[in-house]
Amino acid sequence: MALLNILRYPDPRLHKVAAPIAQVDDRIRTLAADMLETMYDSEGVGLAATQVDVHERLIVMDVSEERDQPMVLINPELVSVSDEKVVGDEGCLSVPTVYDKVERHARVTVKALDRAGKPFQFEAEGLASVCVQHEMDHLRGKVFVEYLSLLKRERIKVKMIKRTRDEQKP
């Protein structure tokens, strides 16, 4: 197991589109385990492979209170989405300290492969629904701040660049 480096917005690699995973093998299982460890270490509820600079369709999540229900979604796809929308505050491990409102489908049905390569399908609502939509956006190269106004996005860019620079000071 290993902690992975999380790309920080506005790193251009966050905008790469992830490719489907052709084979669920030990390489993918190790990546999923490392991503879960990284997500728990950073106290996040979800992490997409894109964020650790691996451009393949894999996301991990845990939206449970107890942080004991890890989910691994390989090649996730939306089967259906509710017409009803919800607006909630979102954050992202690639955009630390920034939270803002984003509109999402209230409920989604998702299909994916599990760590054994077996297909499964589930319905999500609440935090799970928001999280899966947020993480699937990452796989197509979209960061949640892109839903915000240009002005807000520019401010966030400046803030993140400054934060990264400050962290790199000796």
* Interaction site with Ni ion (CB under 5 A): 92
CA distance 170 to 110: 45
Exposed, middle or buried by CB within 10 Å (0-12, 13-18, 19+), for 118? exposed
Q: How far is the CB of 5 from Ni ion (least distance, A)?
A: 15
Judged by DSSP in three states, 6 sits in coil
Q: How far is the CB of 117 from Ni ion (least distance, A)?
A: 25
The answer to whether residue 135 is catalytic is yes
Q: Which residue is nearest to Ni ion (CB)?
A: 92
> Of the two residues 113 and 131, which places its CB atom closer to Ni ion in the complex?
131
> Of the two residues 23 and 146, which places its CB atom closer to Ni ion in the complex?
146
> Of the two residues 25 and 103, which places its CB atom closer to Ni ion in the complex?
103
**Which residue in 72, 68, 5 sits closest to 32, CA to CA?**
72
Q: Which residue type, as a one-letter code, is found at position 66?
A: E
> Of the two residues 113 and 135, which places its CB atom closer to Ni ion in the complex?
135
Active-site residue, from 37, 66, 135, 146: 135
> Are the beta carbons of 52 and 70 closer than 8 angstroms?
no
Q: How far is the CB of 134 from Ni ion (least distance, A)?
A: 5
Residue 16 is classified by DSSP as P
**Which residue in 146, 63, 61, 147 sits closest to 103, CA to CA?**
147
- Residues forming the active site: 135
